[in-house]
Amino acid sequence: MTSAAPQDAGSLAVRVSAIGDQADRVRSFRLEPADGSALPPWEPGTHIDVHLPTGLVRQYSLCGDPAERDAYVIAVLRTPDSRGGSRYLHDTLGVGDTLTIGAPRDNFPFQARARRPLLGSLSAAVSPHVRGGGHAAESRTHAYPRPE
């Protein structure tokens, strides 16, 4: 069993309550607040920082229903040549383990009138997202910067 890294202001301790295989090399993780409190609200397109006990910090987009306030769900692709982030989540993290996460953040705020998806300059991975939450469903493309 692993334990959460020390918490900063704005960070949250969560417990892994379920892990599921969603597709080839893609695994979902359900994260519930360790103290049972309600989680901060989020909108589709939001991501969280996941602080691993190894010291690595990786970002993952929130999936699922934003109305559900008792858990966040992330889906993680296991990168074949991972330096440790997705490899740790797939190979080491288990149900019952605790992690520290950051509060939800959105680097790509929704623009209802945008005609085209926004693309960043550099990407390590490109992932499609579908916006719901009261808006007409709209696909977006995220360009993720390469992690340090």
Ligand X SMILES: Cc1cc2nc3c(=O)[nH]c(=O)nc-3n(C[C@H](O)[C@H](O)[C@H](O)COP(=O)(O)OP(=O)(O)OC[C@H]3O[C@@H](n4cnc5c(N)ncnc54)[C@H](O)[C@@H]3O)c2cc1C
User: What is the chain's percent helix, strand, coil content, to nearest 5?
Assistant: 5, 40, 55
Q: Of these, 2, 11, 17, 79, which contacts ligand X (CB under 6 A)?
A: 79
Contact between 146 and ligand X by CB under 6 A: the answer reads yes
Instruction: Compute the chain's Rg from CA coordinates.
Output: 15
Contact between 104 and ligand X by CB under 6 A: the answer reads no
**115-134: which residues touch ligand X (CB under 6 A)?**
124-125
Contact between 18 and ligand X by CB under 6 A: the answer reads no
Contact between 58 and ligand X by CB under 6 A: the answer reads yes
* End-to-end alpha carbon distance in the chain: 26
Of 37 and 120, nearer to ligand X (C-beta) is 120
133, 43 contact by CB (below 8 A): yes
Q: Which two tokens stand for residue 127?
A: 């992932």
Q: What angle do CA 83, 39, 68 make, to 5 degrees?
A: 100
Contact between 57 and ligand X by CB under 6 A: the answer reads no
Which residue lies nearest ligand X, judged by its C-beta? 85
Distance separating alpha carbons of residues 114 and 25, to the nearest angstrom? 33
Candidate ranges 7-15, 59-67, 94-102, 109-117; the one touching ligand X (CB under 6 A):
59-67
**Contact residues for ligand X (CB under 6 A)?**
47, 58-61, 74-77, 79, 81-87, 107, 124-125, 144-147
